[in-house]
């Protein structure tokens, strides 16, 4: 059977493939500790659960505005202004099925054949494939100790460069881009005339006093598409509620495209998102404190076996495993497979994130599971 070139060329998500492999082992009776996915295990906030339940009880199960409930977009606009310093009208906001769809639709809106999109590495596994699905070419840009290297970005820009996609706090490396780096990127984007897609899915998980900053608030508002989500901050991964905020012309085009890709995001789930935006900052601080403590533990445990840079944000330790590679394990994929089969611990190989020789470990599991996982890894190696 003949497939489209687009479908044939796109790579399977490494995280989904490994998750399926771990599920098969569990089905066979194995106890697998999941350090694979960035899914917070903290319970759903009661206010979100109750608002969703009430919406279901009211019959909020039918079609609604494809761009998102007006009241939700109004609250998102207020949140962006108050917390991110971004001025966006509700009509410049598009509610999507998680951040993944927001990234996809942003690139579909601004890119086409012959365009190039800069992708700093290491990167989230979906970024290159989303670029390719838009008909464009990903151009990988090295970072410096996982931090944005503006000189490398400048060298990578060509007449075909349409955009750069950045992710801070970074998945997988946990880097938090500085104000100087983001302002420098804003100046470079203006000078060389390209757009910025800023994925800020982990904005609420910054540690040790670090601050999350949105590039759209630092001189790049007219050329930035900001992507955020409710999934991580509020343990709403299954709700599939994310959004993008963009300059008016881009937002209008994204809405037109969105209307043919999907209908509205689940109506009653959006009512849960409305409740999430009503939670106080104390709830977010409490959640951040839990994961900072786990970050400290995971970093300390991983550093006994690997070379690690302490993450300043996000939900992962990105461990340099190159000292373990060689004849026994020629690459990070083989090493990750060995740890899954032998130690019963799932992790993402760095090759899936554009950085061979590394492993990504999530610290979203409870502390006893983290201790057991790294003890198994240490014993296996």
Q: Which of 25-34, 36-45, 64-73 has the lowest mean pLDDT?
A: 25-34
In the predicted structure, residue 2 carries a pLDDT above the cut 90: no
What pLDDT, on a 0 to 100 scale, did the predictor assign at position 237?
A: 97
Q: Rounded distance, CA 281 to CA 70, Å? A: 23
Q: Rounded distance, CA 87 to CA 273, Å? A: 20
Which of 244, 277, 310 is the last residue in one of the domains? 277
Is residue 20 domain-shared with residue 152, that is, in the same domain?
A: no
| Signed CA dihedral, 68, 71, 75, 80: sign only | positive
Q: How do 242-245 and 93-96 pair as beta strands?
A: antiparallel
Side-chain half-sphere exposure of 268, counting CA atoms within 13 A:
15
On whether residue 18 sits in a domain, the answer given is yes
Whether 145 and 309 have beta carbons less than 8 Å apart is answered as yes
Whether 272 and 71 have beta carbons less than 8 Å apart is answered as no
Q: Rounded distance, CA 295 to CA 365, Å? A: 10
Split at pLDDT 50, 70, 90, the class of 21 is confident
Q: Give me the mean pLDDT over the 344-363 stretch.
A: 96
On whether residue 95 sits in a domain, the answer given is yes
What pLDDT, on a 0 to 100 scale, did the predictor assign at position 30?
A: 81
The CB density around residue 68, as the number of other CB atoms within 10 Å, is 24
pLDDT per position as a tens digit, 349-358? 999 999 999 9
Which of 258, 277, 296 is the last residue in one of the domains? 277
Is residue 197 domain-shared with residue 127, that is, in the same domain?
A: yes
Mean pLDDT estimate for the chain: 95
Q: Give me the mean pLDDT over the 201-216 stretch.
A: 96
Q: Rounded distance, CA 115 to CA 136, Å? A: 5
Q: Rounded distance, CA 87 to CA 247, Å? A: 10
pLDDT per position as a tens digit, 4-17? 888 777 777 777 77
Domain that holds residue 71: 62-277
DSSP 61-77: -S---TT--HHHHHHHH
On whether residue 161 sits in a domain, the answer given is yes
Q: Rounded distance, CA 134 to CA 108, Å? A: 5
Q: Give me the mean pLDDT over the 16-27 stretch.
A: 78
In the predicted structure, residue 25 carries a pLDDT above the cut 80: no
Is residue 268 domain-shared with residue 289, that is, in the same domain?
A: no
Q: Rounded distance, CA 137 to CA 117, Å? A: 6
Side-chain half-sphere exposure of 140, counting CA atoms within 13 A:
12
Which of 222, 247, 277 is the last residue in one of the domains? 277
Q: What is the pTM of this model?
A: 0.95
Percent of the chain that is helix, strand, coil (3-state, to 5): 45, 15, 35
Is residue 193 domain-shared with residue 124, that is, in the same domain?
A: yes
Place of tokens 């089905």: 27
pLDDT per position as a tens digit, 255-298? 999 999 999 999 999 999 999 999 988 999 999 999 999 999 99
Split at pLDDT 50, 70, 90, the class of 37 is confident
Is residue 237 domain-shared with residue 292, that is, in the same domain?
A: no
pLDDT per position as a tens digit, 58-79? 999 999 999 999 999 999 999 9
Residue 341, H or E segment: none
Q: Rounded distance, CA 153 to CA 181, Å? A: 11
On whether residue 52 sits in a domain, the answer given is no
Residues, the chain? 381
**Residues near 229 by Cβ (< 8 Å), separated by ≥ 6?**
98, 99, 102, 201, 241, 242, 243
Q: Rounded distance, CA 129 to CA 146, Å? A: 21
CATH label of the domain that carries residue 66: 3.40.640.10
pLDDT per position as a tens digit, 77-110? 999 999 999 999 999 999 999 999 999 999 999 9
Is residue 249 domain-shared with residue 176, that is, in the same domain?
A: yes
Is residue 295 domain-shared with residue 333, that is, in the same domain?
A: yes
| Percentage of the chain exceeding pLDDT 90 | 90
Retrieve residue 146's tokens.
């996982």
Q: Rounded distance, CA 248 to CA 232, Å? A: 27
Is residue 266 domain-shared with residue 359, that is, in the same domain?
A: no
Query: N- to C-terminal Cα distance for the chain?
Result: 44
pLDDT per position as a tens digit, 104-130? 999 999 999 999 999 999 999 999 999
What pLDDT, on a 0 to 100 scale, did the predictor assign at position 16?
A: 73
Is residue 155 domain-shared with residue 16, that is, in the same domain?
A: no
On whether residue 69 sits in a domain, the answer given is yes
CATH label of the domain that carries residue 294: 3.90.1150.10
On whether residue 230 sits in a domain, the answer given is yes
Whether 68 and 264 have beta carbons less than 8 Å apart is answered as yes
> What's the domain count of the chain?
2
| Percentage of the chain exceeding pLDDT 70 | 100
On whether residue 54 sits in a domain, the answer given is no
What pLDDT, on a 0 to 100 scale, did the predictor assign at position 241?
A: 98
Is residue 360 domain-shared with residue 240, that is, in the same domain?
A: no
Q: Rounded distance, CA 79 to CA 217, Å? A: 13
**Residues near 25 by Cβ (< 8 Å), separated by ≥ 6?**
32, 340, 341, 344
Is residue 14 domain-shared with residue 120, that is, in the same domain?
A: no
On whether residue 50 sits in a domain, the answer given is no
Is residue 97 domain-shared with residue 189, that is, in the same domain?
A: yes
What pLDDT, on a 0 to 100 scale, did the predictor assign at position 51?
A: 98
Give me Rg for the CA atoms of the chain. 20
pLDDT per position as a tens digit, 131-189? 999 999 999 999 998 999 999 999 999 999 999 999 999 999 999 999 999 999 999 99
């Amino acid at each position: 059977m003949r497939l489209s070139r687009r479908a044939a060329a796109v790579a399977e998500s490494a995280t989904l493939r490994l998750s399926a492999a771990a599920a098969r082992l569990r089905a066979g009776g194995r106890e697998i500790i999941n350090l694979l996915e960035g899914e917070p295990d903290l319970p759903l906030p009661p206010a979100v659960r109750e608002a969703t339940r009430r919406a279901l009880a009211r019959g909020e199960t039918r079609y609604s505005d494809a761009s998102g409930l007006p009241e939700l977009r109004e609250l998102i606009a207020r949140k962006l202004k108050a917390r991110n310093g971004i001025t966006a009208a509700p009509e410049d906001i598009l509610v999507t099925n998680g951040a993944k769809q927001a990234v996809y639709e942003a690139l579909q809106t601004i890119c086409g054949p012959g365009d190039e999109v800069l992708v700093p590495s290491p990167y989230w596994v979906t970024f290159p494939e989303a670029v390719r699905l838009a008909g464009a070419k990903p151009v990988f840009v090295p970072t410096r100790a996982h931090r944005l290297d503006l000189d490398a970005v400048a060298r990578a820009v060509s007449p075909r460069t349409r955009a750069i996609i950045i992710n801070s706090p970074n998945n997988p490396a946990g880097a938090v881009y500085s104000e100087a780096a983001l302002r420098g990127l804003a100046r470079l984007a203006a000078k060389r005339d390209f757009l910025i897609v800023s994925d800020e899915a982990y904005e609420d998980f910054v540690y040790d006093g670090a601050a999350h900053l949105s590039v759209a608030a630092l001189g790049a508002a007219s050329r930035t598409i900001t992507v955020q989500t409710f999934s991580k901050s509020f343990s709403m991964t299954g709700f599939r509620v994310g959004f993008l905020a963009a300059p008016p012309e881009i937002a209008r085009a994204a809405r037109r495209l969105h209307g043919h890709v999907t209908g509205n995001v689940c109506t009653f789930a959006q009512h849960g998102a409305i409740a999430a935006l009503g939670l106080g900052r104390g709830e977010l601080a409490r959640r951040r404190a839990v994961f900072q403590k786990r970050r400290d533990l995971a970093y300390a445990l991983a550093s006994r076996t690997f070379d690690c840079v302490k993450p300043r944000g996000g939900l992962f330790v990105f461990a340099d495993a190159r000292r373990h590679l060689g004849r026994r394990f020629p690459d990070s994929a083989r090493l990750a497979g060995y740890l899954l089969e032998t130690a019963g611990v799932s992790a993402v190989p760095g090759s899936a994130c554009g950085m061979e020789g590394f492993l990504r470990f999530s610290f979203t599991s409870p502390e006893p599971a983290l201790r057991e996982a790294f003890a198994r890894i240490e014993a296996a190696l």
